[in-house]
Structure 1
């Protein structure tokens, strides 16, 4: 980590963890409680629209108490006027670190279950995340998946602004067809994005990612999910429901998705219990 160029009263800055287009994240220790935190700091204070979105992110996440949603400790301003968020620090990295790798089905489904449970709360609060992707899924030391980065989350009743602006907010390789077309979004858009992640975890490949932005969006509109390898065939129906091009054909919400995941788990456990009895006498 490089030497940090900022000073935040009450925190000892250890170094920068990463930097994006609008904000950077530092590893720090909160001096009063002697706990490690991640400080997400805006790069500029002039962009009032983004500043408001940043503050909104803090308020949204602070209102959501769930083991698979990042915890916000504080929102405040630096001496130069830039805002920052103090969040829990998760040392397990993000899901993007496994890009190109196939995860064990049990682990992949456990991650999907944890994130779907978090999204059920998000959606019950009348919000849609709109940017479900591997880089926004972090891990605790015990392996628990945690949803983060609510910077483009939006209240469902306000999402018509997206259509009016004509800008597809999110990450194209994980965007739903309706998101690619700048249409109003609901919970089923997040379910589609989670389905892309599940497909990528099971196969090690995201077939919707094209050579460029336009091709990727076209793939989301036209490309059907490929058949899974035979050993993974029992999950094909789950993926097809999550990745249906028409939102009406997807799971109605994350509660229904979670119930289907429970059914899959129960069926697999029954199969495991019966398998020894099916062998030679």
Structure 2
């Protein structure tokens, strides 16, 4: 099954109760269903924000999409500036930042305000999917409802040739995931600075009654080193009292940073986000996620059945008081 087919299949399963029940019956057990569900779960688009001179801004480099970049670039109108890839509405498109199963993120120039923005546009092959459009709209509404320095700002929502797109703040800097990949464990002062800002951003979301459901290093953007942190990607966010959150058998999020209730496909609330944030803190302390396995199913089982290896066994420089906070 191709990446595009997996994405469409996952979206359909998320909406169709009959198909879920048939697949559950065929799978014979809830545990096996959880593994299948996880393997088909699209990791919501990872936003990587390279510097202006980074080659990842050039088309054909950087993150590989599960669909052709050209399918999105063909939507652009010609630009009067030969340095640009094209124009989307009033925005001049500078380059491609990253892509995933749900869409592509573009770096753009807002000529009216003379500033860079990031534009996330739904993948063309999902344009006719009501579920995909609903999830895209939910991300915009959820992020726009949270006004906080540590949450990515949504400037607007528009549509081009039947495809919705979000206009967001452009963060010049890597994701926390890229930083961890490059350097491994972080210094104590950096762990605390990133952790506090991410926690404050989550608190602001929770104050609006939202549950993020996909807190992970790839969804934490770093600017000015670690001086400024932005929580992003609210594509899975739901209201805490949303009845759909109580459905069992539905696993949404990234396995390594899930809470136990998420891993079991149970209802989640704000405490699930805090567990995920604790897993992010663990990763910053040790350079690796708290729960690892060769398969997604193995990760889910470890989250529900095991305790992670003590932080100080991996990194003795982490003080005991921080280990207690993470635990």
Residue-by-residue CA offset, 1:20-75 (whole Å, 9 max, x unaligned): 10110000101221210000000131111111221121122112111000011110
Which secondary structure does the structure 1 equivalent of 2:117 belong to? strand
Question: How far did residue 165 of structure 1 move?
Answer: 5.6
Q: What runs of 5+ residues in structure 1 fail to find an aligned partner?
A: 241-281
Q: What runs of 5+ residues in structure 2 fail to find an aligned partner?
A: 1-57, 61-72, 77-87
Q: Is the 1:162–1:168 contact (alpha carbons within 8 Å) kept by the matching residues of 2?
A: no
Aligned length: 238
Which secondary structure does the structure 2 equivalent of 1:99 belong to? helix
Question: How far did residue 222 of structure 1 move?
Answer: 1.6
Question: How far did residue 228 of structure 1 move?
Answer: 2.3
Q: Over the residues paired in the alignment, what is the CA RMSD in angstroms?
A: 1.5
Question: How far did residue 207 of structure 1 move?
Answer: 3.3
TM-score normalised by structure 2 residue count? 0.70
TM-score normalised by structure 1 residue count? 0.81
Q: In the alignment, which of 92, 98, 119 is matched to residue 12 of structure 1?
A: 92
Q: Distance in 2 between matches of 1:17 and 1:175?
A: 26
For residues 63-142 of structure 1, the aligned pairs below 5 Å read 63-78=145-160, 80-100=161-181, 101-141=184-224
* Structure 1 residue 22 corresponds to structure 2 residue 102: yes
> Per chain length, whose mean CA-contact separation is higher, i.e. which structure has more relative contact order (CA < 8 Å, sep 6+)?
2
Question: How far did residue 98 of structure 1 move?
Answer: 2.5
Q: Report which stretch shifted further, 44-53 or 20-29.
A: 44-53
Residue-by-residue CA offset, 1:179-229 (whole Å, 9 max, x unaligned): 001111111100000111101101112130211110010111122132222
Match of 1:202 in 2: 285
Match of 2:136 in 1: 54
Q: Report which stretch shifted further, 228-237 or 99-108.
A: 228-237
Q: Distance in 2 between matches of 1:165 and 1:189?
A: 15
Q: Which runs of 4+ in 1 moved over 4 A?
A: none
